[in-house]
Structure 1
């Protein structure tokens, strides 16, 4: 099997890079195109803003990923790629996909995105024009299948979020790491009003919370029982999820999420997950056995207080959550294997 992997390959905690790592475990014949090896230009930001206002303006392709793809296609001769995997290809142009189909008619072109691609703030004009040209779309949003079909998707499949087993696993922590990265209750992520309100409610009621985040979180540095620190993106991310007694898992309201990457990453890192209660969370981890959930700030507070006082129960849930990750095949490697098989077995 020969694969061309296209996406953002920067950083170490980048989930797109983690999916690429999983692809490399499925085949030795793999080429890569990094769509983000250059910083966003002023024109990119302006074009994106204009698109959000409704103008049909394409995003510029500063790294020349489209040219790189076509160069690799032309170099293959008759040794076609079996799959071209494009991870959130918002700068990939329809002309590129049409050229692939003309030169390599047997190649399957796959679109994957961890975001809600039915919403404009995640799209681009480039992407909208490409939707009908993909052989299959994979989405982690179960509720957008019909919408994506209305946008032109020929075939779309839902997949749960994943974790990277070589990055998200229970780390052995030093005393210093546990003290520096851990705490009673913790959260790692961007500021949003709803999650901020929940965290402030905990702090106001005597629960000590540590937040690793930047931006508007910095406005809350002087709140009693709340410690705000810069965001973490290296292996310290996984270590912090292990070090917290309770890791909070909030969902992005702007995306209407029912699960998020942390839904998998927290249990996989050997952390205790206390997440917003959704139908998908309940199907992924059994409530009160493999994770726990809340539907209000009052319930969140009560469960934080309960689990901070019952360490044995909390540790049992941590072990069961980790076991569920493995038994249910939530890793990138297992998930990518399922998706690739689905692509290749479609007749």
Structure 2
């Protein structure tokens, strides 16, 4: 199987890069196009803002990814790609996809995104122009299938979130790492009002919480709420494990019912306390492989209970690790399932 893998390939904690690694494991030959070799330009930011206001303005391709894609396709005429895998292609243009279809008509063009692509803040005009040209779309949002069909998707499949087994796994932490990265209750992620309110509720009720996040979090420091800069690379995985309790909040602006943390926390050997949803309950057995809450009162109750019950925490951590393995939540196993669907798609 020959694959052209296209997406944002920078940063070791980048899930697009992790999916690229998985493609390399399951394919004989994979070539790569990085859609973000260069930082966002001023015009990129202006174009994105104008698009968000409703204007049909395309995002500029600062990294010349479209030109690079065409070069790969041109060189592969005698030995064409089986699959062109495009990971959230918001700067990939319709002319590029039409070029692939013209020169390599048997190549399957795949769109994957971990975000809710039915919402404008995740889209671009480039992406909207391409929706109907993809042979298949994969989404981690089970509730947007009809929305994507209305936008022009010819075939769309739901897939759960994944974790990268070479990056998200239990480590032996030093005492210094546990002190530096851990704490009683922790959260890693961007500020959002709902999750901030829940964390403040914990802090006001005597629970010590540490947040690794963006600058907005600094406005909420208190005696029981420690704020530190966002963490990436291996420190990210280590922190998920180092916290006695790792909080898993869902992004309300995307209407999430599961998130990357859903898989990453248990896979790293962390104790996951997550918002209770139907999908979470299907993915992990409650109180055996993860713990869930429905409101701030239950969140506080669960934090108090499990902070005082180390043996139960350890048992649930072990259950979560095992569930990730036996249910095939890794990138490699998930990519295998998706590629099988692609190759069987007429």
SS at match of 1:91: coil
Q: Retained in 1: the 8 A contact 2:215–2:229?
A: no
Aligned to 2:299: 300
Distance (whole Å) between structure 1 residues aligned to residue 29 and residue 177 of structure 2? 39
Counterparts of residues 1-347 of structure 1 (less than 5 Å): 1-221=1-221, 223-347=222-346
Residue by residue over 1:48-89, the C-alpha shift from the partner in whole angstroms, topping out at 9 and shown as x without a partner, is 000000000000001010000000100112210000000000
SS at match of 1:236: helix
Distance (whole Å) between structure 2 residues aligned to residue 145 and residue 235 of structure 1? 34
Q: Post-superposition shift, 1:234? A: 1.1
Deviating above 3 A after TM superposition, structure 1's stretches of 4 or more consecutive aligned residues are: none
SS at match of 2:16: helix
Q: Post-superposition shift, 1:345? A: 1.4
SS at match of 2:177: helix
Distance (whole Å) between structure 2 residues aligned to residue 287 and residue 113 of structure 1? 28
Q: Post-superposition shift, 1:214? A: 1.6
Q: Retained in 2: the 8 A contact 1:204–1:224?
A: no
Q: Post-superposition shift, 1:43? A: 0.2
| TM-score (ref. length: structure 1) | 0.99
Q: Retained in 2: the 8 A contact 1:185–1:244?
A: yes
Q: Retained in 2: the 8 A contact 1:210–1:227?
A: yes
| TM-score (ref. length: structure 2) | 0.99
Q: Retained in 2: the 8 A contact 1:191–1:213?
A: yes
Which range moved further: 176-185 or 212-221? 212-221
Q: Retained in 2: the 8 A contact 1:59–1:125?
A: yes
Distance (whole Å) between structure 2 residues aligned to residue 138 and residue 215 of structure 1? 33
Distance (whole Å) between structure 2 residues aligned to residue 77 and residue 278 of structure 1? 47
Distance (whole Å) between structure 2 residues aligned to residue 144 and residue 308 of structure 1? 37
Q: Post-superposition shift, 1:244? A: 0.3
Q: Post-superposition shift, 1:299? A: 0.2
SS at match of 2:265: helix
Number of equivalent positions: 346
Distance (whole Å) between structure 2 residues aligned to residue 234 and residue 265 of structure 1? 13
CA RMSD of aligned residues (A): 0.5
Q: Post-superposition shift, 1:218? A: 1.1
Q: Post-superposition shift, 1:220? A: 1.8
Q: Post-superposition shift, 1:28? A: 3.1
Q: Retained in 2: the 8 A contact 1:249–1:274?
A: yes
Distance (whole Å) between structure 2 residues aligned to residue 105 and residue 77 of structure 1? 10
Unaligned stretches of 5+ residues in structure 1: none
Q: Post-superposition shift, 1:40? A: 0.1
Q: Post-superposition shift, 1:346? A: 1.7
SS at match of 2:95: helix
Distance (whole Å) between structure 1 residues aligned to residue 27 and residue 116 of structure 2? 29
